[in-house]
Amino acid sequence: MWSNLKTKHYAVRERTILDLFDETRGDDFSVETAYMRFDYSKTNIDVPTRKMLITLADDAGVAARRDAMFSGKKINETEGRSVLHTALRNLDGSPVIVDGIDVMPKVLATLERLFIYANEVRQSNITDVVNIGIGGSDLGPAMAVQALSPYQNGLRCHFVSNVDGANIADVLCELDAKKTLVIVASKTFTTIETMTNARTARVWMKKNGGDTSAQFVALSSNLEKTAEFGIPPERVFGFENWVGGRYSIWGPIGLSIMLAIGSYNFRDFLRGAEEMDRHFCDAKGAANMPLMLALTGIWHRQICGFISHAVLPYDQRLVLLPSYLQQLEMESNGKSVTMDGSSLTLESGPLVWGAPGTNGQHAFYQLLHQGTTVIPCEFMIAATGHETELSHHHDLLVANCLAQSEALMRGRSLNDARALLVDKFDGPELCRQAAHRVFSGNRPSTTLMYPKLDPFTLGQIIALYEHRVFVEGVILGINSFDQWGVELGKELAMALQPIVIGKQTADTKDSSTKSLVAYLHRQRI
Ligand code: F6P
């Protein structure tokens, strides 16, 4: 099927997206559920291509692999683990069996404990919460707290992730240690950045009159290490190793979100994801939103060869979503070895980046419209904003979002550019000026539209993207749930630390590292 798709791509290379349009394409190439609409009509996918892409997914065994994931089979084969972030939002509690044991009673009991604890904190004298974590133990909560700020009442949440002391210093300097709760969020409880920041926060709290025995909480699956750090078991919220770091927002790692928006709203967030899980399992073929989002991804990256895609939320509160999706997609599908250890002969997952509109329009959209590289764009927009008194802002936001996808598709011909300038210029100057105003067009984009950015919808969006990544991983035949590629740098950093502080020489290092270390030491004298 791969070669059929490549042949098809070659055959339609001269055809424009606009050529595909008729009155019904907008509906025919969209998936609409009761809760949102995903439009992929502004891509070069036609009916036969879609059919081939769906066959590709069928042949790869996406449905069987999906069922294996949901039922607790150990599909993370390189780590011998189940992949069950979906169990964390399985609110109806139907059994999920791992090693002969139903994990649901424990999952629901932990959720209840978290809700009780979050309510207690929300009623205490605590005013500020500092979540210390990195990667999956930071990006999800930081993104969601910001996304759901209209639902926040009371507690202010801050996030410290970088081992750069500037991060924690800037956060702590504004806080009252007696009224601050520190959450140490780390699945492994060994991550050097997080543990360094946690120790710094503990020193700060002690020095400034806080009570470290009462004001530290741990979210982790390593209970030995949380005890070693001195956090009492009643303030440790554990989770199992079948929850991957970048998929962990739904359980204990989501504590800061619960503290910010309350347990009622957090439950709604889980319900949204649960609803998307149901849709992913039940909807068939072209009616399945995560499947179609994934297949547009495969079409663009592996067939058309576009190296990246841009995530463009027209929603200022989703400012951190591109970073969140960067980890979700790139840490999951940035692999060059297939499940059986052989080399991946296709391209791995794409480079993911982006920023909210309309700000991006005034920064990097120039390249999206006129650069030599085609970058498929994934737009997102709510039908209504929260600021009802500012609905004219939202109308403008929507108009901009729709205009960008239209402009990317339509472009502007040389003739049209000349017609715009003919009153101002003539002769060679008209040609020269017009050339700069040509847009090639035919640049693909998709648009996700939802009623409003509420907890339920955010849960849906994140689960949609999780399943997209899953489907793409299955089609590529890779393991989307390990991340060995982050290990080498960590090991080398540990080895370099004594060299940086001058306890060891850099003799074994390459001449670049050696010279940089020498320069560093000269600057520090
Ligand atoms: O270094 C990568 C990683 O392992 C991510 O997968 C993870 O989200 C992050 O580090 C943080 O890990 P932990 O929660 O164990 O501190």
Where does the pLDDT of residue 411 fall: very low under 50, low under 70, confident under 90, or very high at 90 and above?
Answer: very high
CATH class as words, domain 85-267 = alpha beta
Domain extent listing, the chain: 2-12+38-60+283-410+445-479, 85-267, 412-442, 488-524
Residue 314, pLDDT > 80, answer: yes
Give the CATH architecture of domain 488-524: Orthogonal Bundle (1.10)
CATH numeric code, 2-12+38-60+283-410+445-479: 3.40.50.10490
With a 6 Å cutoff on the Cβ, whether 18 touches ligand 1 is no
Q: pLDDT of 375-390, one tens digit each?
A: 999 999 999 999 999 9
Sign of CA dihedral 241, 328, 485, 305: positive
Atom 4 in ligand 1: which residue has the minimum CA distance? 245
Two tokens, residue 231 = 């956090």
With a 6 Å cutoff on the Cβ, whether 462 touches ligand 1 is no
Where does the pLDDT of residue 15 fall: very low under 50, low under 70, confident under 90, or very high at 90 and above?
Answer: very high
Domains 2-12+38-60+283-410+445-479 and 85-267 share a fold: yes
Where does the pLDDT of residue 289 fall: very low under 50, low under 70, confident under 90, or very high at 90 and above?
Answer: very high
Sign of CA dihedral 117, 120, 121, 122: positive
Mean pLDDT, rounded, of the chain: 96
Residue 153, pLDDT > 90, answer: no
* Helix (H), strand (E), coil (C) string for 160-178: ECCCCHHHHHHHHCCCCHH
Whole-number Å distance, alpha carbon 475 to ligand 1 midpoint, is 25
End-to-end CA distance of the chain: 63
Cβ 15 vs Cβ 444: under 8 Å: no
Q: What is the pTM of this model?
A: 0.96
Residue 442, pLDDT > 90, answer: yes
Residue 154, pLDDT > 80, answer: no
Just list the catalytic residues.
Answer: 331, 362, 490
With a 6 Å cutoff on the Cβ, whether 194 touches ligand 1 is yes
Whole-number Å distance, alpha carbon 73 to ligand 1 midpoint, is 23
Residue 178, pLDDT > 90, answer: yes
Residue 435, pLDDT > 90, answer: yes
Beta 377-382 vs 308-314: how paired, if at all?
parallel
Sheet with 216-220, strands from edge to edge, namely 156-160, 128-132, 180-185, 216-220, 236-238
What was the pLDDT predicted at 351? 98
Where does the pLDDT of residue 131 fall: very low under 50, low under 70, confident under 90, or very high at 90 and above?
Answer: very high
The helix/strand/coil state of 122 is helix
> What average pLDDT does this structure show over 98-116?
96
The helix/strand/coil state of 439 is strand
Question: How far apart are the C-alpha atoms of 148 and 144, rounded to whole Å?
Answer: 6
With a 6 Å cutoff on the Cβ, whether 137 touches ligand 1 is yes
Where does the pLDDT of residue 141 fall: very low under 50, low under 70, confident under 90, or very high at 90 and above?
Answer: very high
